[in-house]
A and B are shown apart, each in its own frame.
Chain A
Amino acid sequence: MPGNITSVPAVWLWSVCLLFCIRLTSVGAAPICTNAQAGCHVLSLANLFDRVIQHSARMHGISNDLHNEFEQFFLPSKNQIGRISRNCHTSSILTPNGKENAQRMAREELTEVILKLLVAWRDPLWHFHQSMSHHHDFNNFSSSKALEISDMVHELRKGVEKVAEKMQNLGMIGNFVNNLASPETFLTSDSAEWRLMRNYDLLYCFRRDSNKVQNYLKILKCRIVPEHGC
């Protein structure tokens, strides 16, 4: 029967398609597993924190390297007046300036500060990388680091968002103002200020801010999940 002959490959084809569809739908599911979902590797909060802190440490290290390189290539004159009044565009963000201040700060606020800082640096670093790639007086080492920095900021921001989400799920922190949807909102009129800054100053500011982020994350972690490493 010709009908039977043609139906067999058709059935097979449909089954293959079905299989693929199922796999695709499963992939499209949310990558983060909830606690109830079985077969999912659930990362603990401590584990998430460790990863994020490691990431921020690395980011700070790279920013430090970049800043030192800039200092070698473009030694600013000693008596630069602008050095005193160096003003980073993130100065408007209120950040705790000491250990006690950071420890006294509420978790939600601290998390918010971290996220604000990370968001604020996304665009400047991207433009910094662009300008670096156009300048051929830098070696490729610096250029690749600049690109790496902008990527790392982006990834770190996502990581911190996930941590915040998990903390919220676990009830460790209350609802905090999630400005992630519109990062432009809390960039004040100084938002364009960074365009006026020179690369060296950008790097100086970023080095400082990455150190802030690293410290805040560590303090947050030791307050919330004070297990090993605190």
Chain B
Amino acid sequence: MGVVSASSLLTSLLISSLISPGSAFLQDWDHAALSAPLEPHFTECISRDLATFRCWWSPGIFQNLTSPESIRVYYLKMKIPNSEWKECPDYNHDKRECFFDANHTSVWITYCLQLRSQNITYYNQDDCFTVENIVRPDPPVALNWTLLNISPSGLSYDVMVNWESPPSADVGTGWMRLVYEIQYREQNSSNWETLEMQPHTQHSIFGLQIGKEYEVHVRCRMQAFTKFGEFSDSIFIQVTEIPTKEMSFPLMLVLVLGIVGIVILIMFILVTQQNRLMMILLPPVPAPKIKGIDPELLKKGKLEELNFILSGGGMGSLPAHAPDFYQDEPWVEFIEVDAEETDTGEKEDNQGSDTQRLLGLSQPVSHHVHTGCSNVLSFPDDDSGRASCFDSDLPDQDALILMATLLPGQPEDREDSGERGQEIGERPIVHTQTAGPQTWVNTDFYAQVSNVMPSGGVVLSPGQQLRIQESTPAEEEMQKKGKESEGSEEAEEKKQKELQFQLLVVDPEGSGYTTESNARQMSTPPTSPITGEGYQTIPPQPMETKPAATADDHQSPYILPDSPQSPFFVPVADYTVVQEVNNQHSLLLNPPPHQSPSPCHPQHPLKSLPAMPVGYITPDLLGNLSP
């Protein structure tokens, strides 16, 4: 007996000397599970409402040795003056629980617990705690959810989950402030989605999918503390598809029918009004028209026939129209298609011929010259970019602005289609007159080509001559348009009358152009060939039979034709056939044979270009001229 008691005493002493770490239930539950000491120890102390708390203990392996009631719980409240160990106020041996009611619970005071069994005291200092630190609130209750909205696509929806605070927690008086954490997951998923903590008793969940079932639960803890309570009971959320399409079905049907009806109506309108629509959308393009000439010929590729006609093959038709030509209509209308609109109005408004204005003759329109931009520049400026009045390039003597645009500064512009061959009149070439006594008085700056001789000469419109009233010799400048025509035979005659046509010196700096007013003051003798242009200036020769014209004082590029008194029959070639282009890119003209007195002509090596068509140089032929 003594030995047994001694051994038991020894054992108990040995055990008592061992102060094992204990359960340390202040830590998380996980740690408690890991360390399971052998001796009786406290497993947990929990407060639900910060007013009471419970503690549970475990007897350890000595369960068999002692009866459950033999273990006693003692606690200590750490008060400064005196602290003494007291026994648990409320035992529950079945659960091995000690309950501290509100009278025995003091917050913010350190409690320490002991287990005493017989004479052994099991005490762990880590088991001391304060009540506020062991609070684990009860789970929230009364969870329910409401549908917030469904996405327009009908695939997802939002819900609002709300609950109530645990009844045991005195939130009303503010004694406990709880924060809630909500978790949800799909029905068969194992991962919980956690939403952020917040102190309100409701929370919205976004982005749930229609047709799937979701499980939601909530837990809470004290604000600024770490221990969570348990999760509440889960609720299940599921929203099935709402057949809303039926509502909009008739609407869709109406919409579709309406659209189909409108489409049919539009088609009907299109079909019935086809012609008018075509007129509006695709207006007919005016075909090129030259009176007396079939427009078919003006199409590409039929130049030979056109040449034939113009050169006299179709003369039978042309003269019939010739008297009608340009009586009151601007001749440009027929020659230059694109100048139709602009020139028509302009020319008709002109008081007199452009030439007159240019030469500053007694035409009262001398004042127009300077403002010649407005009225002179009616012809299309398609040859140069300088459509506006461009005096800057001109010399001090005001050059004709009109001429300015015709500067051969853009020789490439001269290469026009065959129809340009008819545009001779546009060029500021005053055709010296053809047959018959004519005065150049009222010769237009552009004279109408009434006829083209088979030899290539150009016949001016006789009608135009009738309008000549003054002795305004006009000189034209040959534009390097790439198309030169031979001087007409009549023109040659005129040239013999010392009307020399000059190749235009298209020298911007030179006195290529003069205004009408300055035509008289023109003094620059264009004797020297101005380089760069390829033109040779034929100095105006003093006309033998021509009295000094008003503008004859000056060596002007324009050879002023003789005065009205003198008939001038110098056949001046209106156009000269370009025979060749020398290596300096000068056009070597073939002056009419009657123009031999011109000193400038020796500079023209006469060569014949057998390949040259009579009359005009077409663009494709011009290419042959290139050296």
Contacts and interface: CB of A to CB of B under 8 A. Distances in A.
Interface of A: 53, 57, 60-61, 64, 68, 78-81, 83-87, 91-92, 95, 97-100, 103, 208-209, 211-212, 214-215, 218-219, 221-222, 229-230
Nearest to B19: A79
Contacts of A81: 125
B294 interface: no
B173 A219 contact: yes
B174 A222 contact: yes
B78 interface: yes
B174 A61 contact: no
Given A86-B110, A230-B173, A61 B78 contact: no
B132 interface: yes
Which 9 interchain pairs have the tightest Cβ spacing?
A218-B174, A97-B106, A61-B224, A64-B224, A99-B175, A222-B173, A60-B224, A222-B174, A208-B108
A100 B102 contact: yes
Contact of A219 (B80, B132, B174, B226): B174
A229 B107 CA distance: 23
A224 to B, nearest CB: 12
B177 interface: yes
B335 interface: no
Contacts of B173: 99, 103, 218-219, 222, 230
Contact of A61 (B107, B128, B223): B223
A23 B286 CA distance: 86
Interface in B50-91: 50-51, 78, 80
B323 interface: no
B224 A211 contact: yes
Contacts of B109: 97
Contacts of B102: 98-100
Contacts of A98: 51, 102, 105-107
Given A84-B128, A86-B110, 5 more contacts: A53-B174, A61-B223, A79-B19, A98-B106, A215-B175
Contacts of B108: 95, 97, 208-209, 211-212
Nearest to A97: B106
A226 B112 CA distance: 36
Contacts of A218: 173-175, 177
A80 B174 CA distance: 35
B130 interface: yes
Contacts of A60: 224
A229 B271 CA distance: 77
Contacts of A95: 108
A222 B172 contact: yes
A83 B26 CA distance: 14
A100 to B, nearest CB: 6
* B: interface residue count bin: 20 to 34
B241 interface: no
B172 A80 contact: no
B225 interface: yes
B106 A208 contact: no
Contacts of B174: 53, 215, 218-219, 221-222, 229-230
Contacts of B170: 99
A80 B106 CA distance: 23
A40 to B, nearest CB: 29
A212 B109 CA distance: 11
Interface string B84-118: 00000000000000000010011111101000000
B126 interface: yes
B226 to A, nearest CB: 8
B21 interface: yes
8 contacts: A57-B177, A79-B126, A84-B112, A85-B78, A99-B51, A208-B108, A208-B132, A218-B175
B110 A78 contact: no
B51 A79 contact: no
Contact of A230 (B19, B24, B50, B172): B172
Nearest to A79: B125
A46 B78 CA distance: 36
A191 to B, nearest CB: 15
Contacts of A86: 110
Interface in B430-453: none
A219 B171 CA distance: 11
B110 A84 contact: yes
Interface string B294-322: 00000000000000000000000000000
A208 B133 CA distance: 9
Interface in B566-604: none
A84 B78 contact: yes
A64 B105 CA distance: 22
Interface string B114-147: 0000000000011010101000000000000000
A103 B170 CA distance: 13
A84 B125 contact: yes
B128 A83 contact: yes
A60 B78 CA distance: 23
A40 B485 CA distance: 103
A78 B177 contact: no
Interface in B17-52: 19, 21, 24, 50-51
A214 B223 CA distance: 11
A227 B458 CA distance: 114
